Amino acid sequence: MSSSDDEVPGFRLRSGDPFAVAPEDRDPGRRLRGRLASPVTVWTAGRGAQRAGLTVSSLVVAEGEPPSVVGLVGPLTNFWEVASATTRFVVHVLDEDQGRLADRFAGRYPEPPFDRVEATEGDWGPELAEAPTRAFCSVASYEEVGWFLQVTATVDRVDVATGRPPLVHLQGRYWRLQPGR
């Protein structure tokens, strides 16, 4: 007998995750979002012992004078607690080989996110040494949208490092871009 969807009297065996929700029963908003490629960023705020960081893929950069960053963050996250108090934060754009860094700030490791990560104290928050493309932002407004806070911030300064392509999130996984294909 194989481990695929085989018929057994009284049972239907399913391969894969036994707790997985059937595609037709999944949340329609999540299904739509899963079809859209997203940039992978880490947002950091605070100083010293009062610092926090969060992986954010729901992000838009709006051009203008000054430019703005709009992102969705959890209202109960440590990041939002610190960023709302300091009103400043740093958006780090991750490179294609930085999936582990994204996972660290997404809470997928048992240790605190800043452990084993080189970060310097900056005026807008911790600056991650291994993520040199950054936007230094000031909170302009926020409002509840669905289960998240839509945070709008003005971009006060940008540091762009050239070289490697950015990390992208699509359908629950990180992807590397292959330009020209």
Phi/psi region, residue 20 (left: phi>0; alpha: psi -120 to 50; beta: rest), is beta
If pLDDT is split at 50, 70 and 90, which confidence band does 91 have? very high
For 105, the domain range is 40-161
Tokens of 152: 């709008």
113 part of a folded domain: yes
What's the CATH code of the domain at 86?
Answer: 2.30.110.10
Question: How far is residue 76's CA from residue 81's CA, in Å, rounded to a whole number?
Answer: 7
23 part of a folded domain: no
Q: Which residues pair with 167 in a beta bridge?
A: 176
Question: How far is residue 125's CA from residue 4's CA, in Å, rounded to a whole number?
Answer: 50
pLDDT tens by residue, 99-122: 999 999 999 999 999 999 999 999
If pLDDT is split at 50, 70 and 90, which confidence band does 26 have? confident
More confident residue, 126 or 22: 126
More confident residue, 161 or 2: 161
94 part of a folded domain: yes
Residue 67, preceding peptide bond in cis (omega within 30° of 0): no
pLDDT, residue 106, reads 95
- Lowest mean pLDDT: which of 1-5, 14-18, 78-82, 138-142? 1-5
Tokens of 36: 């859209």
Q: Over the range 30-68, which residues count as b (16 or more CB within 10 Å of their CB) and which as e? A: eeeeeeeebbbbbbbbbeeeebbbbbbbbbebeeeeeeb
171 part of a folded domain: no
14 part of a folded domain: no
Q: Please name which of 80, 41, 72, 64 lies closest in space to residue 151, comparing C-alpha atoms.
A: 72
- Stretch 158-173: mean pLDDT, rounded? 88
Q: Is the pLDDT of residue 141 over 90?
A: yes
138 part of a folded domain: yes
List of residues 6+ apart from 142 with CB closer than 8 A = 84, 149, 150, 151, 152
Q: Which residues pair with 174 in a beta bridge?
A: 169
pLDDT, residue 15, reads 58
| Total structural domains within the chain | 1
pLDDT, residue 70, reads 98
117 part of a folded domain: yes
Q: Is the pLDDT of residue 178 over 80?
A: no
pLDDT, averaged across the chain: 88
> Which residue reads 């059937």 in tokens?
22
Which H or E run includes 109? none
Kindly state the percentage of the chain with pLDDT values over 90: 68
70 part of a folded domain: yes
pLDDT tens by residue, 34-83: 777 889 999 999 998 899 999 999 999 999 999 999 999 999 999 999 99
